[in-house]
Structure 1
Amino acid sequence: MKLLTLNTHSLIEPDYEAKRDAFVNFIAKEQPDVFALQEVNQTASAPLLGDVPAGYYPCPCNMVLLKADNHAAAVARMLEERGVHYHWSWLPAKIGYDRYDEGMAVFSRAPITQTENLLLSRSNDYSYWKTRRALGICAGDVWYYAVHMGWWKDEEEPFADQWNALEATAGAKPMAFLLGDFNSEADVRGEGYDLILCSGWQDTFRLAQQRDDGYTVVQAIDGWRDAPDASAKKRIDQIWCSKAVPVRSSRVVFRGTQEPQVSDHAGILIEL
């Protein structure tokens, strides 16, 4: 079984369409069982999407309709054109960069039987850039959550509060994976990474029999530009499991070595 996570930086990324093609080609080749995406954008002012690709499973209480340039819908359609079918769901959390409906998507080879819309932040203001949500899908008897967290030292929207909200729901499931951009550096002690560990969750990177260095960000990116170590390499994109599971491998993808760069983040691909 293969799982993948990637912060896509979609629509904003230079050469976006070419990078989207490269990503879809990789998915069509590797066919991960589940992949979770963050910064899955659509232009808020764009016209509605007329023909929704097959496999779409709406998320409860999502009042934002799919628009014509929705990144997840484009990926689903392009995969379908390549003869690769996924079930998928999309959930926007906020207005990003003053123009996008910014959210998350989860794609599953197995049918989606349930979805969850979790508010993680104190704010529930869709126009506020610090509002955070998580999208959960159930496929088989396992839950998968696409996660894009805030920062540890943010006094207004602290990571710890968002984690407590996520863990209260995801931690109650018999089996769950958290896939995403945690904005919490794995090499820094006493902050978000350690909080997740102390909550009993398992970092699949540490469980993997084979792994690389795990770093998914190697330059200054939005949200980290004011940090003292803004340009230092970081392992902030992670895949966690509620139980210890046998992990064959964990590797960084889309960082310009084996695969082209498609975002300001690289992704993580694990094989169970």
Structure 2
Amino acid sequence: MKLLTLNTHSLIEPDYEAKRKIFVDFIAREQPEVFALQEVNQTAAAPLLGEIPARYYPCSGNTVLLKADNHAAAVARMLEKQGVQYHWSWLPAKIGYDRYDEGAAVFSRAPITAAENLLLSKSDDYSCWKTRRTLGICAGDVWYYTVHLGWWKDEVEPFAAQWETLSRAAGAKKTAFLLGDFNSEADVRGEGYDLVLRSGWQDTYRLAQQRDEGYTVMQAIDGWRDAPDAAAKKRIDQIWCSQAIAVKSTRVVFDGLREPQVSDHAGVLIEL
């Protein structure tokens, strides 16, 4: 069983359509059971999507309709054309870069039987760029959450408060995976990474029998440019499980080595 996470940057990314094809071809080849995406955008002013790709599972509380250039819908449609079927859901959280409905998506080869719309930030203002939501989907008896958290030292929307909400909700499930951009460096002690560990969650990177360096950000990116170590390598994209499991391998993907870069983040692919 394979799981993948990627902060896509989607419509913001230069050469977006070419990079989207590289990503879709990779998914069609590897066919992970579940993949979770963050920064899954659509242009807020774009026309409505004419025909929604098959196996879409709407998330309750989402009042933003799918638009013609929605990244998740494009990925679903392209996979369908390659004969690869996924069930999928998308949830916007806020207006990003002043023009996008920015959210997250989860794709599952098994049918989605439930979806959760979880507000993590204190703010529920759709126009506020610090508003954070998490989308969780249930496939079989396992929950998968696509995660994009705030920063540890943010004075308005700190990581710790968002993590408490997420951990309480996801931890109540029998088995749950958290996949995404935690905006917390695994190499930094006493901050978000250590808080997640102390909460009893298992880092699949540490559980893996085979692993690489794990770094998913190699240069200064949005949200980190003012940090003293902005250009340092960071392992901020992670996959956690609510219980200790057997992990065969974990590796960074789309880092420009085995696969081309498709975003300002690399992704993580694990095999259980």
Whether TM exceeds 0.5 here: the answer is: yes
**Any idea what the Cα deviations from partners look like across 1:191-222, whole Å, max 9, x if unmatched?**
00000000000000000000000000000000
2:39 corresponds in structure 1 to 39
Gaps of 5+ in 1: none
TM-score for the superposition, normalised by structure 1: 1.00
In 2: Cα distance, 1:124 partner to 1:167 partner: 19
User: Could you tell me which residue of structure 1 aligns to residue 209 of structure 2?
Assistant: 209
1:165 is matched with which residue? Answer: 165
CA drift of 1:10 comes to 0.5
Q: How does 1:57-72 map to 2 (within 5 A)?
A: 57-72=57-72
Q: Distance in 2 between matches of 1:229 and 1:168?
A: 31
- Report Cα offsets for 1:69-118 as digits up to 9, x if no partner: 00000000000000000000000000000000000000000000000000
**Residue identity in the other structure for 1:259:** E
Residue 105 (structure 2) pairs with residue 105 (structure 1): yes
Which amino acid in structure 1 is aligned with residue 226 of structure 2? Answer: D
4+ aligned runs moved over 4 Å, structure 1? none
For the residues of structure 1 that align with 2:104 and 2:112, how far apart are their CA atoms? 16
Match of residue 19 from structure 1: 19
Gaps of 5+ in 2: none
> Could you list the per-position Cα deviations for residues 106-159 of structure 1 after superposition, in whole angstroms to 9, with x for gaps in the alignment?
000000000000000000000000000000000000000000000000011010
Deviations 1:215-271 (A, max 9, x none): 000000000000000000000000000000000000000000000000000000000
CA distance in 2: counterparts of 1:85 and 1:119, whole angstroms = 29
Instruction: Note the alpha carbon deviations across 1:48-76, whole angstroms, 9 max, x for none.
Output: 00100001000000000000000000000
User: TM-score, normalization: structure 2?
Assistant: 1.00
Q: Secondary structure at the match of 1:11?
A: helix
What is residue 137 of structure 1 aligned with on the other side? 137
* Correspondences of 1:106-125 after superposition (within 5 Å): 106-125=106-125
Report the AA paired with residue 105 of structure 1: A
The AA in structure 1 aligned to 2:225 is: R
What is the CA deviation profile of residues 163-199 of structure 1, one whole-angstrom value per residue up to 9, with x for unaligned ones?
Answer: 0010110010000000000000000000000000000
Q: What is aligned with 2:175?
A: 175
**Which residue of the partner structure matches residue 233 of structure 1?**
233
Total equivalences in the alignment? 272
Distance 2:124 2:113 in 1: 26
RMSD: 0.2
User: How does 1:3-18 map onto structure 2 within 5 Å?
Assistant: 3-18=3-18
Partner in structure 1 of residue 257 of structure 2: 257
User: Residue by residue, what CA displacement relative to the aligned partner does 1:27-50 show, whole Å, maximum 9, x if unpaired?
Assistant: 000000000000000000000001
Percent of counterpart pairs with the same letter? Answer: 82
Q: Secondary structure in 2 aligned to 1:224?
A: coil
